[in-house]
A and B are shown apart, each in its own frame.
Chain A
């Protein structure tokens, strides 16, 4: 087990190295000369050249990549071209809203999607099943910001149940924090719920056709216990996998959702960075999100052992 753990953790290193190489190349091939930007418009070509030498921009790709990698490993993601502040500091300032949004979305989606999928599989072929699966297809087809605007228009503007936009830090209380996150989480979770519900239904259908389910039914185990204790436990691994993979959807969606609901998180930071072509900023955000994504899927892999005692490494 410990050996597997170690191997699995080590296996993420080449993947992260590739991501880092890709992200670094991004800056390397980015249009515009940072030296010229720093020197300003009145600078002579000699001055620009001097700055380039001083910044080390004249050295070969491999040297710069290694140097940058070591800096990243020691927690230095460079300096934002626009604000002049360290990228890590800017990310640190904006991480709480995004993290809150994603955690609430994952919790909410799992709580909604798994029972939906279980019911759909249990009543396979019924109207409930068809309705849920039709909703799932719809979930894949409606872009996240459209759901966001619809929810905001009805539940915030028309009915006035939730705040329209904005974010309240959790330090100001749990309920105000949650209240601001409910609509964005539903909007962001729409695709995610569809994805999880579909996988849950598929794996549950398979689990429910197994012999042990028939045995449990024959000896009179309550239907709820069969569904949630016998079948769902055996269907847990694929569901956990898809919850992990789906985080990629959430990361992409969070950027858009934050812009719809005016949440001052990493998504807004990303959009600002794109508009200003702030490459170190874009680099840092992509690297950090990819790192989170790889870590989430690593965690899911390790959770398998807890979910399925048959898995032994």
Chain B
């Protein structure tokens, strides 16, 4: 054999001594397992950023009256369109209303609309999707109606629905919910149909488990992850649609300070007093950003296969 060892002459070979091996040098730094809060922050930075941002906005919405605000609807014609100053932190609008107070109170409307639409659309979409996936006779009908609704661009659908009713926060929530339901129903139906093919569902059916129990025990728990992610995105888009509806005058009643309404008020003055639009815009964008970051990180956490792809 001509291994390198045999090619070295015997004399040159080092003496073999039977000693305990010296400890291996620390080539790799010790693996640091972070636990607790620090570990969570390290592993999910976007989720933490999203949660912190959202927590701040929720805090602002709840404690708006105690954060140095004045009555957001109080008119002061003598002090209209003031630049941001010590008295008016974010300036004042064309009616002399304090933009800072209005923006803080506006957080309430946006959060309410966002969360309400997310919850309502998820619950109704979950119901329709499950029925569609399980009751073959209703599947065609439900899905055709959903197709029809989906063929109308969502904002246009919400606008059309708002044109029918009185402007109120409830109606805004309902209009956006109706526009969002089809997407949830489709998603849930897809999940239900693929779950129905699973052996454990077959086994449950073979064992004579009642359908209601199968849905409760085997189907619903598996829809939670995709539905949560979807609900987060719906929450974000609902807030944007609310602001668009209010901005074009088809949303929240003008008397209620919502971010869309504040921007609608600043519309005519935007070239000279851009701050009236700027401050609510920053708040709205940050809030939606927080929700979207949460959604992205939830998706990555709940479906690791997706983490690398999108």
Contacts of B272-292 to chain A: CB distance below 8 A: 274, 277, 281, 284-286, 288-289, 292
A279 to B160: give the CA distance in the assembly, Å.
9
- Chain B 133-176 interface 0/1 with A at a Cβ cutoff of 8 Å (1 = within): 00000000000110111011111110110111100000000000
Task: Please determine whether A141 and B163 come into contact, CB atoms closer than 8 angstroms.
Answer: no
Task: Please determine whether A202 and B309 come into contact, CB atoms closer than 8 angstroms.
Answer: yes
Q: Which residue of A lies closest to B243 (CB)?
A: A143
Known: A31-B164, A274-B162, A282-B163. A141 touches B236 (CB 8 A): yes
Task: Please determine whether B247 and A145 come into contact, CB atoms closer than 8 angstroms.
Answer: yes
Task: Please determine whether B247 and A137 come into contact, CB atoms closer than 8 angstroms.
Answer: no
Interchain CB contact (< 8 A) of B289 among A16, A138, A273? A138
Q: Which residues of B contact A247 (CB under 8 A)?
A: 153
Task: Please determine whether B248 and A293 come into contact, CB atoms closer than 8 angstroms.
Answer: no
Q: Which residue of B lies closest to A27 (CB)?
A: B164
Q: Which residue of A lies closest to B310 (CB)?
A: A202
Does A14 make an interface contact (CB < 8 A)? yes
Task: Please determine whether A15 and B163 come into contact, CB atoms closer than 8 angstroms.
Answer: no
Interface size class of B (residues with CB under 8 A): 35 or more
- Chain A 6-40 interface 0/1 with B at a Cβ cutoff of 8 Å (1 = within): 00000000111011011100100111000000000
A15 to B151: give the CA distance in the assembly, Å.
8
Q: Which residues of B contact A252 (CB under 8 A)?
A: 153-156, 244
Q: Which residues of B contact A199 (CB under 8 A)?
A: 310
A176 to B281: give the CA distance in the assembly, Å.
30
Task: Please determine whether A255 and B277 come into contact, CB atoms closer than 8 angstroms.
Answer: no
Contacts of A105-150 to chain B: CB distance below 8 A: 124, 137-138, 140-146, 149-150
Does B308 make an interface contact (CB < 8 A)? yes
Q: Which residues of A contact B107 (CB under 8 A)?
A: none
Q: Which residues of A contact B250 (CB under 8 A)?
A: 271, 274
Q: Which residues of B contact A15 (CB under 8 A)?
A: 144, 147-148, 151
Does A88 make an interface contact (CB < 8 A)? no
- Chain A 145-168 interface 0/1 with B at a Cβ cutoff of 8 Å (1 = within): 110011011000100000010000
Does A52 make an interface contact (CB < 8 A)? no
Known: A153-B270, A255-B248, A294-B151. A279 touches B308 (CB 8 A): no
Does B104 make an interface contact (CB < 8 A)? no
Q: Which among A140, A201, A251 has the greatest number of chain B C-beta atoms within 10 A?
A: A140
Task: Please determine whether B149 and A248 come into contact, CB atoms closer than 8 angstroms.
Answer: no
Does B263 make an interface contact (CB < 8 A)? yes
Task: Please determine whether B309 and A205 come into contact, CB atoms closer than 8 angstroms.
Answer: yes
Nearest chain B CB to A81 CB, angstrom units:
12
A-B contact count (CB 8 A): 140
A22 to B250: give the CA distance in the assembly, Å.
19
Does A275 make an interface contact (CB < 8 A)? yes
Q: Which residues of B contact A124 (CB under 8 A)?
A: 308
Contacts of A281-312 to chain B: CB distance below 8 A: 282, 285-286, 289-290, 293-294
Known: A18-B144, A19-B152, A289-B156. A145 touches B309 (CB 8 A): no
Task: Please determine whether A16 and B270 come into contact, CB atoms closer than 8 angstroms.
Answer: no
Does B54 make an interface contact (CB < 8 A)? no
Does A64 make an interface contact (CB < 8 A)? no
Task: Please determine whether B309 and A206 come into contact, CB atoms closer than 8 angstroms.
Answer: yes
A282 to B165: give the CA distance in the assembly, Å.
14
Task: Please determine whether A256 and B281 come into contact, CB atoms closer than 8 angstroms.
Answer: no
Nearest chain A CB to B2 CB, angstrom units:
34
A24 to B284: give the CA distance in the assembly, Å.
35
Q: Which residues of B contact A234 (CB under 8 A)?
A: none
Interchain CB contact (< 8 A) of B164 among A29, A145, A270, A289? A29
- Chain A 161-197 interface 0/1 with B at a Cβ cutoff of 8 Å (1 = within): 0001000000000000000000000000000000000
Does B253 make an interface contact (CB < 8 A)? no
Nearest chain A CB to B246 CB, angstrom units:
11
Q: Which residue of A lies closest to B158 (CB)?
A: A252
Task: Please determine whether B240 and A143 come into contact, CB atoms closer than 8 angstroms.
Answer: yes
Does B293 make an interface contact (CB < 8 A)? yes
Nearest chain B CB to A294 CB, angstrom units:
5
Task: Please determine whether A251 and B156 come into contact, CB atoms closer than 8 angstroms.
Answer: yes
Q: Which residues of B contact A30 (CB under 8 A)?
A: 163-164
Task: Please determine whether A282 and B308 come into contact, CB atoms closer than 8 angstroms.
Answer: no
Does B296 make an interface contact (CB < 8 A)? yes
Does A277 make an interface contact (CB < 8 A)? yes
- Chain B 228-248 interface 0/1 with A at a Cβ cutoff of 8 Å (1 = within): 000000001000100110011
Q: Which among A23, A255, A271 has the greatest number of chain B C-beta atoms within 10 A?
A: A255
Does B249 make an interface contact (CB < 8 A)? yes
Task: Please determine whether B244 and A256 come into contact, CB atoms closer than 8 angstroms.
Answer: yes
Does A69 make an interface contact (CB < 8 A)? no
Interchain CB contact (< 8 A) of B153 among A16, A150, A256, A293? A293
Does A259 make an interface contact (CB < 8 A)? yes
A274 to B162: give the CA distance in the assembly, Å.
9
Does B271 make an interface contact (CB < 8 A)? yes
Nearest chain A CB to B109 CB, angstrom units:
15
A67 to B104: give the CA distance in the assembly, Å.
51
Task: List, sorted by A's number, 22 A–B pairs whose CB atoms are closer than 8 Å.
Answer: A18-B151, A22-B149, A29-B164, A30-B163, A31-B165, A124-B308, A138-B289, A142-B281, A142-B289, A143-B244, A143-B284, A153-B270, A157-B271, A205-B308, A247-B153, A252-B153, A274-B163, A274-B249, A282-B159, A282-B163, A286-B160, A290-B156
7 further A-B pairs in the complex, CB-CB below 8 A; given A256-B248, A274-B163, A290-B152? A21-B148, A140-B292, A142-B289, A143-B247, A252-B154, A271-B249, A286-B152
- Minimum-distance CB pairs A-B, first 5: A252-B155, A18-B148, A141-B289, A248-B153, A141-B288
